[in-house]
Homo-oligomer: A and B are copies of this chain.
Amino acid sequence: MTTLNRPGAPDGHVCGIDAAMEVIGGKWKVLVLWALHEHPRRRFGELRRLLPGITEKVLASHLRELEADGVVHRVSYDEVPPRVEYSLTEDGKRLNDALQPLAAWGRRRPVTGGLEEGAGRSRS
């Protein structure tokens, strides 16, 4: 367990977000999910092309973890030229749905209408 470890939720809930974060915790995870959502049944190379900047290792490992987490489905046809297709599982689609509100929130962030704190974007 390298992720969030709540000692047992003293308040009575586990919030489940940590579980979700465990799944989408990778740097490109959500984008892979997203790409798969918009381009069902994509092959490794295609996904790689869809995610400019990602390396094979990272894509491969993310895909493997996503598969292990049951949100991505992998089908490999053993043909002469190796061919593998990835797609979202039902659970993966649900995850994507659950991600929508967050996406919407993030999208309206830069120009929030009622931000009174005057906070600016500043990160490392």
Please report the C-alpha to C-alpha distance between residue A123 and residue B19 in the assembled complex, in whole angstroms.
12
Query: A114 at interface (Cβ–Cβ under 8 A)?
Result: yes
The copy count of this chain in the complex is: 2
Known contacts A27-B3, A73-B117, A117-B73, A123 near B17 by CB under 8 Å: no
A95 touches B105 (CB 8 A): yes
| Chain A stretch 93-108: residues in CB contact (< 8 A) with chain B | 94-95, 97-108
Please report the C-alpha to C-alpha distance between residue A119 and residue B4 in the assembled complex, in whole angstroms.
21
Which residues in B have their C-beta under 8 angstroms from that of A67? 117, 119
Which residues in B have their C-beta under 8 angstroms from that of A55? none
Query: A14 at interface (Cβ–Cβ under 8 A)?
Result: yes
Known contacts A52-B10, A90-B114, A101 near B101 by CB under 8 Å: yes
A7 touches B89 (CB 8 A): no
Closest chain B residue, CB of each to CB of A66: B119
Query: A46 at interface (Cβ–Cβ under 8 A)?
Result: no
Query: A76 at interface (Cβ–Cβ under 8 A)?
Result: no
Please report the C-alpha to C-alpha distance between residue A27 and residue B23 in the assembled complex, in whole angstroms.
13
Q: List 27 A-B contacts (CB under 8 A).
A: A2-B123, A2-B124, A4-B27, A6-B52, A6-B53, A7-B53, A10-B50, A15-B31, A15-B103, A16-B103, A16-B106, A16-B108, A17-B106, A19-B107, A21-B24, A21-B106, A65-B123, A67-B119, A69-B121, A70-B112, A70-B117, A73-B117, A89-B115, A90-B114, A91-B115, A91-B117, A99-B101
